[in-house]
Amino acid sequence: MSVVLADLAYWQETTIRLVVGLIAVLLPAGTLVYLFLFKMMSFMQSRLGPMEAGPYGSLQLLAEVGKFLQKEDIVPQAADRLIFKLAPFVVLISTFLLILVIPAGPDLWFIDVDTGIFLGLAVSSISVIGILMAGWASSSKYSLLGALRATGQLIAYELPMVLAVVGVIIQAGTLNVQEIVMAQATGEIFGFGGIGNPYVITQFVGFLIFLIAVQAELTQPPFDMPVAESELVTGYLTEYSGLRFLMFFIGEFATAAIFSALAATLFLGGWYVPGLEATDNLFNVIGPIILLGKMLLVAFFIFWFRFTYPRFREDQLQQLAWKVLIPLSLVNIVITGVLKVVF
Amino acid sequence: MSDTADTKQMAYIAAQAADARVNLEIETEGMTLNIGPQHPATHGTLRIVVRLDGEQVISAEPLMGYMHRGYEKLTEVRTYPQVTTLVNRIDWLGSFANEVPFILAAEQLMEVEAPPRAQWIRTALFEMSRIANVVLFLGDMGVQLGAVTPVFFAFRDREFILNQIEAVTGGRFHPNFDRIGGLKDDLPKGWIDETRGVLKRIRNFCDEIETLVVGNEIFQSRTRNIGVIPADIGLSYGLSGANIRSSGVDWDIRRDGGVGLVHNELDWKVWTHPDGDSFARFWVRLQEVRESCTMIEQILDGIPSGPVMAKVPRIIKVPAGEAYVETENPLGVMGYYVISKGDLTPFRVKIRSASFNNVSITPWLLKGVYVPDVISILASLYFILGDIDR
Amino acid sequence: MRKIKLPGLIKGLGVTFKTLVRTLTKGSHTVQYPHVKESPPPRARGVIALHEENCTACMLCARECPDWCIYIEGHKYKAPPRRPGGKPRKKNALDRFDIDFSLCMFCGICVDVCPFEALFWTPEYEYSELKIADLLHDKTLLSQWMETVPDFEDYEAGSEAKKLTVPQ
Ligand code: SF4
Ligand code: SF4
């Protein structure tokens, strides 16, 4: 994008970035909802899912959005109105900030900072504040319980996620996401460089930990106690309706899409496929599509787990994070470091 | 009272008051959470008032009656044939099984007995309504624990059983097929073979649930050692059915004294589990579905020929007397105590429905567990709201 | 948490994946309703049909209905004698025969008790209405349902029940 935008006025550039950013958030989120939530889930349950709106129900999502927009925007009487109304925006902002760091081609990126991955993981935790605000301001016991659970869970799983990424950072030797992709494109596995070095091979443990942590960050089953429908109705979402619920909904699936894209970037080689020179201009065209494909692959697993597993209990989830995932990722870091020094 | 004593006392009182204030400020108050009457986990309108300390339950009290439909009173102004259509709405998932004990009680009073063919078909339908009921439990338990898929499998395969019930009785949910002295009609042609195929599907479903839910480690960690009911406590609360069998009590009315049904002529087994926890209750029910399939298969092979209706007057007047008949229904022991004064309508009917007793153990059982376990325990006790409130 | 072994979790994934493949290749278990219709078995209790010629307005069904949702009015009249010179016959004519399907609980008692075989079940189920009052089906509508009444089925081997026939 930097090339394209080189000789445009600042306001033009900003507008273009905004539009592209909106598309980059909404399009993958919509794809995920349709492909996985509507269709894959239905197929896994021997049904067809939405079929009426558009061919194979492909316009169902628009219909849903229309429905949500029509709904009355209800604020509970005892709610803290300002915070209640602000909360969905905070969650969405974290989503929009997160997409900034993901490159979709050699010259396609929003920002190219040297601490990209660090920035990304940092802004991803802003959503916790939004969730806490939502839960507190709803003045509902279910919401409060849900928000507190969410906070505990997101904080607990932030750690293994970051630690899993550290392995990648050590191997790539940089915090810059674009350079991590490049390192995977040009890397070699013990001297064999035919397919580059997607870190899913050398960092397999890290990849698994990252996936589990992402699952928890997204509060998807088996880690969905914060929004557990059968216990807490829907946790911090209980009191939301209409547009605000839609925003949470978009936030949830956009975050799912972006985290999958992040996983694809860090572990599966991002926009790069073997066979072409990494700096080839062609990647500026097919890069986003490749990234989308890889993202869908990761998301497939995330949603597959979601539709198959029952949920943990809160204490079991914390135990899993602190007693299993964190030690495991620390060991992973140590081994990666040692190998990095040795080779 | 001297001055010194007075000031001392004042100081003491002041100190006490200060202490109390500090206590009030520091002590975290518990929170009262209303689970229900509208709550996704109570599948109906059960209300459980729990006092929480954090996420731990200090006390729990079930409040029932939000769905009271007054069937016991209603039976007093309805004729016997009309009562059957009312009572099969008590446990709406296994409705045919609700009719059976009432009809048996009425038959006892009238001193008629259904012909053998009717008894065999009755038993088959009785077990099919058990399958229809418990299959849904097997799926629903997954939903309560957060797995969305099993319940769709359950609805999918229950449909086949309901189809078979509908093909005989005409009603999917409320058959109203049992008559005093037999059955309303005989089986339609080809039904027996179709049912064999359906039973294969149900077994298949059981296998799927076994790998998808029972074998899942998350499910096990959520249910094992959760909500343990020792046999003696369970019996003292009047638990019955799979809830008490999973505490190791080998008691099944189908085997130990069933009247009017032919379970004793079949080759089957009563499943028990020693643990008494949520997992055991799930497991026992799963095995019982399989056992029901075995029973129905044997029944299909052995239905004797003959009429399905004994000689009964067209207008049914039940002679004066009292009768109590209980059967092992999908949810547990269900009994009807019928008092007749020789009229067209019963004088009084007392219904002993299983869920009412099964839920009564919750205050004892829920003490000290966490909120997520409240849900899994309630789900594993498996109640139907209509069966609690009647 | 050390108890977590992979097999159980992975086998579970297999079940859902198998279902996914089966739905994709062999189609779903659900039916796309308005486009594809369900066909309930002939005994299904969908809606009640009235064979008007058989009904004598004896009111048995209205009396036995548990929630009294059948409304019957009739009058007696003298039909001309069969043979010339005979006495005029007493006959019952049906003025009104309504069933309120918003109250009916589909128990089938009315069909059972009718001594003259005037009521029949049909498996038809598509008669929902926008207004609840329209669920009160009158004589003409109930008679129209007669066309949809299927023949009674044969019985399974070993049965001694008599097969009834549907009047045309
Ligand atoms: S089916 Fe039952 S409720 Fe309906 S009209 Fe007939 S007797 Fe009445
Ligand atoms: S339908 Fe049958 S029972 Fe009802 S009034 Fe007519 S003849 Fe009598």
Higher pLDDT, C164 or B71: B71
Nearest ligand to the CA atom of C48 = 1
> Each residue of A198-225: pLDDT tens digit?
776 777 788 888 888 888 888 777 777 7
Query: pLDDT band at residue C2, thresholds of 50, 70 and 90?
Result: very low
User: H/E element holding C50?
Assistant: strand C47-50
pLDDT over 80 (residue A258): yes
Residues from chain A contacting residue C18 (CB–CB below 8 Å): none
Ligand 2 atom nearest the C-alpha of C72 is 5
Q: With a cut of 0.85, is the ipTM above it?
A: no
- Pick from B82, B117, B186: CB nearest C109: B82
pLDDT over 60 (residue A1): no
- Pick from A41, A47, A233: CB nearest B40: A233
Q: Can you tell me the distance from the alpha carbon of B223 to that of B216, in angstroms, rounded to the nearest whole number?
A: 11
Q: What integer pLDDT is reported at residue C66 of this predicted model?
A: 85
Q: What integer pLDDT is reported at residue B22 of this predicted model?
A: 62
Q: What integer pLDDT is reported at residue B24 of this predicted model?
A: 59
Residues from chain B contacting residue C112 (CB–CB below 8 Å): 81, 184
Please enumerate in sequence order all residues whose Cβ is within 8 A of that of B352, keeping only pairs 6 or more positions apart, or say none: B326, B333, B334, B335, B336, B337
Q: Which residues of A153-173 are buried (b: 16+ CB within 10 A; e: fewer)?
A: bbebbbbbbbbbbbbbbbbbe
Residues contacting ligand 1 via CB (< 6 Å): C 65-67, 69-70, 99, 104-110
Token pair for B109: 């009073």
Closest among A128, A124, A121 to A154, alpha carbons compared: A128
Closest among A268, A166, A264, A157 to A213, alpha carbons compared: A157
| Cβ-defined contact of C109 to B81 (cutoff 8 Å) | yes
Instruction: Answer for the pair C151, C165: CB distance below 8 angstroms, yes or no.
Output: yes
Query: pLDDT band at residue A182, thresholds of 50, 70 and 90?
Result: confident
Q: What integer pLDDT is reported at residue C4 of this predicted model?
A: 47
Q: Can you tell me the distance from the alpha carbon of A102 to that of B97, in angstroms, rounded to the nearest whole number?
A: 61
Residues from chain C contacting residue A42 (CB–CB below 8 Å): 23, 28
B70 Cβ under 8 Å from any chain C Cβ: no
Residue B364: other Cβ atoms inside 10 A: 13
Cα C46 to ligand 1 centre (Å): 12
Q: What integer pLDDT is reported at residue B3 of this predicted model?
A: 60
* Sequence ranges of the domains in chain A: 10-342
Q: Tell me whether strands B178-179 and B56-63 are parallel, antiparallel or unpaired.
A: unpaired
- Nearest residue of chain A to residue C20 (CA atoms): A44
> Is residue C82 one of the residues assigned to a domain?
yes
Residue nearest to atom 4 of ligand 1 (CA): C104
pLDDT over 70 (residue C33): yes
Token pair for B262: 């032919």
Residue nearest to atom 7 of ligand 1 (CA): C65
End-to-end CA distance of chain A: 36
Higher pLDDT, A163 or A203: A163
Q: How many domains does chain C have?
A: 1
Ligand 1 atom nearest the C-alpha of B85 is 2
Say which CATH number the domain at C88 has: 3.30.70.3270
Nearest ligand to the CA atom of C99 = 1
> Is residue C107 one of the residues assigned to a domain?
yes
| Cβ-defined contact of A304 to C32 (cutoff 8 Å) | no
Q: What integer pLDDT is reported at residue B186 of this predicted model?
A: 83
Residue C80: other Cβ atoms inside 10 A: 8
Side-chain-facing half-sphere of B347: CA atoms under 13 Å: 12
Instruction: Answer for the pair B44, B356: CB distance below 8 angstroms, yes or no.
Output: no
Which of A167-181, A234-248, B255-269, C107-121 is the most confident on average? C107-121
User: H/E element holding C47?
Assistant: strand C47-50
* Sequence ranges of the domains in chain B: 3-60, 70-389
CB of residue C142 inside a 6 A radius of ligand 2: no
Q: Can you tell me the distance from the alpha carbon of C133 to that of C128, in angstroms, rounded to the nearest whole number?
A: 11
Q: Can you tell me the distance from the alpha carbon of B293 to that of B295, in angstroms, rounded to the nearest whole number?
A: 5
| Cβ-defined contact of B221 to A316 (cutoff 8 Å) | yes
Task: Kindly tell me the sign of the dihedral angle through the C-alpha atoms of C155, B301, B255, B264.
Answer: positive
A60-72 average pLDDT score: 85
C109 Cβ under 8 Å from any chain B Cβ: yes
> Each residue of B296-353: pLDDT tens digit?
888 888 888 888 888 888 778 888 888 888 888 888 888 888 888 888 888 888 888 8
Q: Can you tell me the distance from the alpha carbon of B146 to that of A105, in angstroms, rounded to the nearest whole number?
A: 39
- Nearest residue of chain A to residue B55 (CA atoms): A145
pLDDT over 60 (residue B26): no
> Is residue C79 one of the residues assigned to a domain?
yes
Q: How many residues does chain C have?
A: 168
Q: Can you tell me the distance from the alpha carbon of A253 to that of A248, in angstroms, rounded to the nearest whole number?
A: 9
Instruction: Answer for the pair A111, A24: CB distance below 8 angstroms, yes or no.
Output: no
| Cβ-defined contact of B144 to A230 (cutoff 8 Å) | yes
Share of chain B above pLDDT 70, in %: 94
| Cβ-defined contact of B55 to A225 (cutoff 8 Å) | no
As beta bridge partners, residue B32 has B51
Higher pLDDT, A334 or A202: A334
Residue nearest to atom 2 of ligand 1 (CA): C107
Cα C105 to ligand 1 centre (Å): 6
Q: What integer pLDDT is reported at residue C13 of this predicted model?
A: 78
Residue C164: other Cβ atoms inside 10 A: 11
Q: What integer pLDDT is reported at residue A7 of this predicted model?
A: 67
pLDDT over 80 (residue A304): yes
Mean pLDDT of all residues belonging to chain B: 83
Q: What integer pLDDT is reported at residue C3 of this predicted model?
A: 47
Whole-Å CA distances, B347 to B70, B84, B320, C67? 15, 15, 9, 19
CB of residue C71 inside a 6 A radius of ligand 2: no
Whole-Å CA distances, A291 to A24, A287, A294, B245, C39? 11, 6, 5, 55, 47
Q: What integer pLDDT is reported at residue A196 of this predicted model?
A: 65
The distance of C28 to chain A (nearest Cα, Å) reads: 5
Residue nearest to atom 2 of ligand 2 (CA): C114
Interface of A with C (CB under 8 A): 40, 42-48, 51, 304-305, 307-309, 316, 319-320, 323-324
Q: What integer pLDDT is reported at residue A45 of this predicted model?
A: 82
A67-76 average pLDDT score: 83
Choose from A233, A309, A320 for mutation: most chain B CBs within 10 A. Answer: A309
B250-269 average pLDDT score: 80
| Cβ-defined contact of A316 to B143 (cutoff 8 Å) | no
> Is residue C69 one of the residues assigned to a domain?
yes
Share of chain A above pLDDT 90, in %: 0
> Is residue C158 one of the residues assigned to a domain?
no
Whole-Å CA distances, B175 to A153, B87, B166, B168, B353? 49, 11, 7, 9, 19
- Nearest residue of chain A to residue B40 (CA atoms): A230
> Each residue of B177-212: pLDDT tens digit?
888 888 888 888 888 888 888 888 888 888 888 888
- Pick from C5, C66, C155: CB nearest B82: C66
Choose from B38, B155, B218 for mutation: most chain A CBs within 10 A. Answer: B218
Q: What integer pLDDT is reported at residue B5 of this predicted model?
A: 66
Q: What integer pLDDT is reported at residue A6 of this predicted model?
A: 59
- Nearest residue of chain B to residue C13 (CA atoms): B212
The distance of B156 to chain A (nearest Cα, Å) reads: 8
Q: What integer pLDDT is reported at residue A111 of this predicted model?
A: 72
Contacts with C, B 295-354, CB within 8 Å:
303-308
- Pick from C9, C12, C20: CB nearest A43: C20
HEC string for C74-97: EEEEEECCCCCCCCCEEEEEEEEE
Instruction: Answer for the pair A221, A306: CB distance below 8 angstroms, yes or no.
Output: yes
Q: What integer pLDDT is reported at residue B2 of this predicted model?
A: 55
B247-264 average pLDDT score: 80
Share of chain C above pLDDT 90, in %: 0
What architecture is the B70-389 domain classified under in CATH?
Answer: Orthogonal Bundle (1.10)
B191 Cβ under 8 Å from any chain C Cβ: yes
> Is residue C156 one of the residues assigned to a domain?
no
Q: What integer pLDDT is reported at residue B191 of this predicted model?
A: 86
Residues from chain A contacting residue B152 (CB–CB below 8 Å): 45-47
Cα C110 to ligand 1 centre (Å): 5
The whole domain housing C105 covers: 47-148
Ligand 2 atom nearest the C-alpha of C62 is 4
| Cβ-defined contact of B55 to A312 (cutoff 8 Å) | no
- Pick from A141, A222, A228: CB nearest B33: A141
